[in-house]
Amino acid sequence: MNLLLRPATRDDLPALLAIEEQSFSRPRWRPADFLKDRCTVAECDGQIAGFIVVREVFSGNTHTRAEREILNVATHPDFRRAGIATRLLENELASGAIYFLEVRESNVPAQTLYRKLGFTELHRRPKYYSHPVETAIVMQMK
């Protein structure tokens, strides 16, 4: 598989929205949300196969590492279990920052992916999500 990781552009928005709609029970991201923070797409033979959106929470300094939050990550259903989310995450985690994310308690595929990459659970936020109401697991990667 010929996979290219690159920054998202406005031209990618229809494909990003389509992946969002096929990936979440209640898609909540609007077009502008994708480009507000740093969005990287995985392009496979000209098709957008997945994306990751990351926000810098703290830029770090000489004594303290940067902290970043993974806001969104998804792979197009046709491209799943091919290592695309792993590639997007590994590319991001190589920065050496400390990473945080939230994941639904029922989202075992994503939790499995995150644990495999070294994320560990920090704590849980009961009733954090709506539609359906659900606990969030907060995870960290140091």
Interacting residues with ligand COA (CB under 6 A): 23, 50, 73-75, 80-86, 103, 107-110, 112-113, 116
- Rounded to a whole number of angstroms, the minimum distance from the CB of residue 59 to ligand COA is 24
When the beta carbons of 41 and 74 are compared against ligand COA, the nearer one is 74
When the beta carbons of 9 and 86 are compared against ligand COA, the nearer one is 86
- Rounded to a whole number of angstroms, the minimum distance from the CB of residue 81 to ligand COA is 4
Structure tokens at 54: 């990351």
When the beta carbons of 63 and 123 are compared against ligand COA, the nearer one is 123
Residue pair 53/38 in contact (Cβ under 8 Å)? The answer is yes
When the beta carbons of 103 and 141 are compared against ligand COA, the nearer one is 103
For the chain, give the secondary structure using H, E and C: CCEEEEECCHHHHHHHHHHHHHHCCCCCCCHHHHHHCEEEEEEECCEEEEEEEEEEEECCCCCCCCEEEEEEEEECHHHCCCCHHHHHHHHHHCCCCEEEEEEECCCHHHHHHHHHCCCEEEEEEEEEECCCCEEEEEEEEC
Residue pair 74/104 in contact (Cβ under 8 Å)? The answer is no
- Rounded to a whole number of angstroms, the minimum distance from the CB of residue 96 to ligand COA is 21
- Rounded to a whole number of angstroms, the minimum distance from the CB of residue 82 to ligand COA is 5
When the beta carbons of 60 and 98 are compared against ligand COA, the nearer one is 98
- Rounded to a whole number of angstroms, the minimum distance from the CB of residue 21 to ligand COA is 11
